Structure 1
């Protein structure tokens, strides 16, 4: 996947925080490695053997937490689990002090917290250890690698892949934008309700990178102008983990973005993706989620191999 070194040293941060920060060869390399490990989970030499991997989740998680825990074990590491009330940041210890302590004992940290992404960066800087963003409010980068790997498993070469994302411009959408912006010729359209789109800065960053590889990242706020031909229709649940919407009538705003069989038939050759968990009847109809064109369950299974690829990369002793 290339040998771009992870910067390491006192006061530096390293690991996986945002796909926007990874050079395109690293993104495509992690994608390819995820597919390799999906086909053969033993295609490694236990590169984390003897290491201690912290697994800090202060938000609920089924797929991501399980994938990183099992992935760490399969790669040879011993996971050390922390729940929402286990660390003394809950009693007033600073994130900086917590990072210094964790860094003196752990070899890497996988973290999903309630705080901003900068907290994860601070844990890395103060602890001098790799930190993997297992979902922050701003972005869910390991989900982005999982999504690209699912696409690669299904379609092979991703050059020119066409994706229509339908729903909220949430952290999964941000990761998808940054990931596909690294794929030559990719075209991704985000159809989001007005007021619930991708953050402007994230969209502009993805657009700029897309321009360097001949890709297109765009956003619309209705489905009528959506592309006439796509390879995949992708949605996520309307209520992102740990968030609430201020508008009491938000469901009516989202209703036109419900993916049912009638909507999917606009693209009769398209596959369907969903990062799960799903709320059948809200963002997607059960017949679509469980139907023959759905990749959602393959996507869920791909979480493990993509977690392993990220762990292998983040913990590698680069020069």
Structure 2
């Protein structure tokens, strides 16, 4: 390997949106998440050396159980140091610009995992300095690491992603946006979105199969996916919005249309709203395995973003 090749192999990589992720890198991250699950289960001692000598920052301005824990645990399991920042810890709260904050942190951190309620553009300002990799762990527009965990779940369960048929039911939120961007990279995968009227995907998505009703559902489905109706950190101006969402609840009757389909949910869930308890806690639900796969997917993302060789 030449000096230039070695530099390229260890160069930090940003993950801000799946729209910018090369297809080969998406394939790699999904496959690598499945490999990480196997290596953790086997107690592979070499994992602790993957990011040895690196320092990762975790900056979350919004609540998080799964994503924050997954990335924190992933960093520690891979041998990285870890610094966590809460919503009141950085001096952006006293007027320092995001750009200046990114410039400072890039001199001290190797990786920064960020969750905000703001736009991806804010994360791009943090990522303007090539010494530090920035990972979008959820922004207003997109939740890319959730989609990577979802695809890792599909890969581990079915042994593939391409060719699967996914029915997404519920709000066109940042989880739906990321899932759409991810599955659109697989030519034989099918994604059918059923979103309430007025709560669909944002405009600008090409080749999207989206309807705002529950009529004429696809005959064959491998996966039924929903998310909580009240997306984290948001509110809905319509006081009667639950009435609009009610036909999009996933219950036993809906799931019974496809006896071999699995059920996914990004959690947290509100039993009795977007999904019944009998579905969420039933034998075809992989929602909690999906949550665990966030750890393995986060390990793959940090390895890739940190420029580690595999």
TM-score normalised by the chain length of structure 1: 0.90
Tell me the CA shift for residue 317 of structure 1: 5.7
Q: How does 1:6-155 map to 2 (within 5 A)?
A: 14-41=13-40, 42=44, 44=47, 46-126=49-129, 128-155=131-158
Instruction: Show structure 2 runs of 5+ residues with no match.
Output: 1-5
Q: Secondary structure, in 3 states, of the residue corresponding to 2:167? A: strand
* 1:107-152: CA deviation from partner (whole Å, max 9, x where unpaired): 1100002321111110010474110000001100011110001011
Are the counterparts in 2 of residues 160 and 185 from structure 1 also a CA contact under 8 Å?
yes
1:286 aligns to what? 277
Is 1:182 matched with 2:181? no
Distance 1:127 1:32, change over 3 A: closer
Tell me the CA shift for residue 225 of structure 1: 2.1
Distance 1:61 1:226, change over 3 A: same
Is 1:312 matched with 2:303? yes
Are the counterparts in 2 of residues 50 and 78 from structure 1 also a CA contact under 8 Å?
yes
2:130 and 2:97 map into 1 onto residues whose CA distance is: 13
2:9 and 2:194 map into 1 onto residues whose CA distance is: 35
Is 1:245 matched with 2:248? no
> For structure 1, which segment, 238-247 or 118-127, has the greater mean C-alpha deviation from structure 2 after superposition?
118-127
1:261 aligns to what? 252
* 1:244-263: CA deviation from partner (whole Å, max 9, x where unpaired): 11111110000000001011
Is 1:198 matched with 2:197? no
1:18 and 1:135 map into 2 onto residues whose CA distance is: 10
2:48 and 2:230 map into 1 onto residues whose CA distance is: 40
Tell me the CA shift for residue 45 of structure 1: 6.1
2:267 aligns to what? 276
Instruction: Show structure 1 runs of 5+ residues with no match.
Output: 208-216
1:219 aligns to what? 210
Count the aligned residue pairs.
Answer: 299
2:48 and 2:28 map into 1 onto residues whose CA distance is: 18
Tell me the CA shift for residue 306 of structure 1: 0.1
1:265 and 1:172 map into 2 onto residues whose CA distance is: 24
Are the counterparts in 2 of residues 116 and 136 from structure 1 also a CA contact under 8 Å?
yes
Q: Secondary structure, in 3 states, of the residue corresponding to 2:258? A: coil
